[in-house]
Amino acid sequence: MAKILLVDDDIELTSLLTDILEMEGFDIVEANNGIEGLEKIDSSIDLILLDVMMPKMNGTQMLRKLRESFATPSIDANGKR
């Protein structure tokens, strides 16, 4: 089962996406900002779905920091990789 890190500050949207992705067989790890996302990333994550506009640390900042240690594939809210 693929494990996805879902990072978005919209809690209702995150909950909805988690429900849908879990029904499709994915294991979901949720984070509500970039800092929390960095705390939850590890080598078991297969894909990161990342919102760009978030408080505390936006998606672009998180991805830059993440790339220092991980090459996990990611898709941002604009569909970019």
Mean pLDDT per 10-residue interval, the chain, length 81 residues: 95 95 97 95 96 89 92 77 56
> In Å, how far from its chain's centre is CA 56?
15
- Inter-residue contact 5 to 45 (CB < 8 Å): yes
What is the model's pLDDT at position 81?
Answer: 56
39's enclosing H/E stretch is helix 34-40
Specify whether domain 3-76 bears CATH 3.40.50.300.
no
**Which runs of consecutive H residues, i.e. helices, occur in the chain?**
11-23, 34-40, 59-66
User: Please, what's the b/e burial string for 66-79 (b: 16 or more CB within 10 A of its CB; e: otherwise)?
Assistant: beeebebebebeee
> How far apart are alpha carbons 79 and 49 in whole angstroms?
9
